A and B are shown apart, each in its own frame.
Chain A
Amino acid sequence: MKKELKIVVLAKQVPDTRNVGKDAMTPEGTVNRAALPAIFNPEDLNALEQALRIKDSLPGSTVQVVTMGPPRAADIIRDAMFRGADGGILLSGREFAGSDTLATSYALACTLRKVNPDLIIAGRQAIDGDTAQVGPQVAEKLGLPQVTYAEEILGIENGKITVKRRLEHGTEVVECPLPMVLTVNASAPECRPRNARRIMKYKYALTPTEIAAATPDSEFVKVASTKDYLQITEWGVAQIDPDMQQLGLTGSPTKVKKVDNVVFQVKESKCLSCSDNEIDALMKELISSRALG
Chain B
Amino acid sequence: MANFFLDNKDLQYHLGHPLMRKIVELKERGFAEKDKYDYAPKSFEDAMDNYRRVLEIAGEVCGDVIAPNAEGVDHEGPRVVNDHVVYAEGTARNLEAITKAGLGGITLPRKYNGLNFPLICFVMANEMVARADAGFENLWGLQDCAETLNEFASEEIKQAFLPLVSEGATCAMDLTEPDAGSDLGAVMLKATWDEERQTWLLNGVKRFITNGDGDISLVLARSEEGTADARGLSMFVYDRRDMAVKVRRIENKLGIKGSPTCELVFTNAPAKLVGDRKMGLIKYVMSLMNAARLGIGAQSVGLCEAAYREGLKYAHEREQFGKPIILFPAMYEMLSNMKAKLLGARALLYETTRFVEIYKQYTHISHERDLTPEERAEMKFYTKLADGFTPLLKLFSSEYANQLAYDALQIHGGSGYMKDYPIERIYRDARITNIYEGTSQLQVVAAINHITKGTYLDQIKEYESATYLPELEKEHKLLIALREKLEKMIAKVDATEAEHKGEGYKDFHARRLVETAGHIIITYLLMRQSGEVSDYLTPARTFAKIAQAQVNAAETYIENFDWDQLAAFKQVIDEE
Contact = CB atoms under 8 A, between A and B. Distances in A.
A227 B42 CA distance: 15
A192 B1 CA distance: 14
Contact of A196 (B46, B49, B115): B115
A137 B559 CA distance: 85
A192 B103 contact: no
B57 A194 contact: yes
Interface in B444-458: none
A221 to B, nearest CB: 13
A20 B103 CA distance: 32
Interface residues of A, number: 16
Contacts of B100: 192-193, 195
B39 interface: yes
A185 to B, nearest CB: 19
A201 B50 CA distance: 10
Contact of A219 (B1, B46, B103): B46
B462 interface: no
A6 interface: no
A31 to B, nearest CB: 19
Interface string A159-173: 000000000000000
Interface residues of B, number: 23
Given A201-B38, A219-B42, A219-B46, A196 B1 contact: no
Contacts of B54: 196, 199-200
A206 to B, nearest CB: 15
A267 interface: no
Contact of B115 (A18, A193, A194, A197): A197
A19 B1 CA distance: 10
A194 B3 CA distance: 13
A198 B38 CA distance: 9
B53 interface: yes
A203 B53 CA distance: 9
A193 B53 contact: no
B133 interface: no
Contacts of A194: 57, 60, 101
B358 interface: no
A223 interface: yes
A201 B42 contact: no
Interface in A207-235: 219, 223, 227
A196 to B, nearest CB: 4
Nearest to A223: B42
A199 B39 CA distance: 8
A193 B50 contact: no
A223 B45 CA distance: 14
A232 B61 CA distance: 27
Contacts of A201: 38-39
Identify the interface centre among A194, A200, A203, A219: most chain B CB within 10 Å of its CB: A200
Nearest to A83: B100
Contacts of A18: 1
B255 interface: no
Contacts of B86: none
B49 A203 contact: yes
A200 B49 CA distance: 9
A3 to B, nearest CB: 24
Identify the interface centre among A19, A192, A223: most chain B CB within 10 Å of its CB: A192
Interface in B32-46: 38-43, 45-46
Interface string B51-67: 00110010011000100
Nearest to A230: B38
Given A19-B1, A193-B57, A219-B42, A200 B97 contact: no
Contacts of A227: 38
A199 B57 contact: yes
B38 A196 contact: no
A39 to B, nearest CB: 10
B101 A193 contact: yes
Contacts of A192: 97, 100-101
Given A19-B1, A203-B49, A203-B53, A196 B42 contact: no
B102 interface: yes
B102 A198 contact: yes
B1 A199 contact: no
B471 to A, nearest CB: 36
A92 B487 CA distance: 71
A196 B97 contact: no
B57 A200 contact: no
Interface in B71-127: 97, 100-103, 115
Contacts of B60: 193-194
Nearest to A227: B38
B125 to A, nearest CB: 10
Contacts of B57: 193-196, 199
A201 B46 CA distance: 11
A203 B54 CA distance: 11
Contacts of B97: 192-193
B101 A200 contact: no
A230 to B, nearest CB: 9
A195 B96 CA distance: 12
B449 to A, nearest CB: 39
A77 to B, nearest CB: 16
B341 to A, nearest CB: 32
Nearest to A16: B1
A93 B232 CA distance: 74
A193 B39 contact: no
A16 to B, nearest CB: 9
Contacts of B103: 196
A197 B1 CA distance: 23
A197 B168 CA distance: 13
Interface string A20-33: 00000000000000
Interface string B338-370: 000000000000000000000000000000000
Contact of A200 (B53, B61, B65): B53
18 contacts: A18-B1, A192-B100, A193-B61, A193-B65, A194-B57, A194-B101, A195-B102, A196-B101, A198-B39, A199-B57, A200-B50, A200-B53, A201-B38, A203-B49, A203-B50, A203-B53, A219-B43, A227-B38
Interface of B: 1, 38-43, 45-46, 49-50, 53-54, 57, 60-61, 65, 97, 100-103, 115
Given A194-B101, A219-B43, A223-B42, 20 more contacts: A18-B1, A19-B1, A192-B101, A193-B60, A193-B61, A193-B101, A194-B57, A195-B100, A196-B54, A196-B103, A196-B115, A198-B102, A199-B50, A199-B53, A200-B39, A200-B53, A201-B38, A201-B39, A203-B50, A203-B53
Q: Ordered nearest first, which 9 A-B pairs have the shortest CB separation? A: A196-B102, A200-B39, A195-B102, A193-B101, A192-B100, A196-B54, A201-B39, A201-B38, A200-B50
